[in-house]
Chains A and B, each alone.
Chain A
């Protein structure tokens, strides 16, 4: 017997993600999912973002790692609430993990949640978590050819941070070639060159994020 299913494989993840999103919208909390390779400077970028925005917005961080709470402790040391999610070997965050992590945060006291996904340029790509935007970081030492090797992550990202630009003189990184290949894959996404640890180039990125946080707040106020 033939049975037609036409059933999305990620249905369960997507359903929970939609519930997460509904909650974020109701509470007016903008959620950004940050994806990158290990060692590309995700935590440093988050700290720089916190520095740039903490006077204007109430921020929390959800840290996804296979193991350890090193990153969450780094964030908490700056007086920012952080929840550590250990995926226990899984190479990406799933929406159920976010639902659990969010349940320990007071969403009424927040404007922005930054999700730090597991260091990986492949697996997080296809998993919707309920975020408002996926953003990726590529660091200069990884090389300008990465858009060709990992097209998926460049395509799903609404913005792309090019980190560690202070190391440009040391590495053979062709920024024009990088920009051209990103444009091929994802013409709408802005690229923010940055050095998170030096605090260079953080402002345009922070501004991009602030516009989106404000837009969500305005939308939430309009619905009331």
Chain B
């Protein structure tokens, strides 16, 4: 799908929240991508790097986690994980199922640096807590 456009929306939202919090820098952006969407994480990462240069997000880490498809069977009530291609209920075989998760596409949270914070190297993982 259109990863560059998606990442523009992500960066705009992140910049807005970070600025509102008075942050001087964004250290990490965590996004969640449902496996049933057509978004590709590698393309998102590329877009993030390309678009973040010169913004508060420059040098920040993009952490993308895939969300496994999860459905409920409307016939027998069974809830189960599945892959992109097989959505039928493994218990009773019904196709009358409701997708509960897997089409998600959202920004989960961000880590930002505030003016008084101990500076953290952009690539550092080490927040001692």
Residues of A within 8 A of B (CB): 1-12, 90-92, 94, 122-123, 125-126, 148, 151-152, 155, 183-185, 187-188
Kindly state the separation between the CA atoms of A1 and B2 in the bound complex, as whole angstroms.
Answer: 30
Interface size class of B (residues with CB under 8 A): 35 or more
If over half of A's interface residues share one DSSP class (helix, strand or loop), that class is named, otherwise mixed; here it is mixed
Kindly state the separation between the CA atoms of A148 and B86 in the bound complex, as whole angstroms.
Answer: 10
Decide yes or no: A155 and B108 within 8 Å by CB, A12-B9, A184-B88 being known contacts.
Answer: no
Q: How many residue pairs bridge A and B at CB < 8 Å?
A: 91
Kindly state the separation between the CA atoms of A9 and B3 in the bound complex, as whole angstroms.
Answer: 11
Whether B50 sits at the interface, judged by CB under 8 Å, is no
Contact in complex: B36, A152 (CB < 8 Å): yes
Nearest B residue (CB) for A183:
B95
Identify A9's interface contact among B9, B87, B96, CB under 8 A. Answer: B9
Nearest A residue (CB) for B33:
A9
Whether B111 sits at the interface, judged by CB under 8 Å, is yes
Contact in complex: B5, A6 (CB < 8 Å): no
Q: 6 new A-B pairs (CB below 8 Å) besides A3-B17, A90-B5, A187-B96?
A: A5-B109, A6-B106, A123-B38, A125-B38, A152-B37, A152-B38
A-B contact pairs, 22 of them (CB 8 A): A2-B111, A3-B17, A4-B109, A5-B17, A5-B108, A5-B109, A6-B106, A6-B107, A7-B13, A9-B107, A11-B13, A90-B2, A94-B5, A122-B1, A122-B38, A123-B1, A125-B38, A126-B38, A148-B85, A151-B36, A152-B36, A185-B85
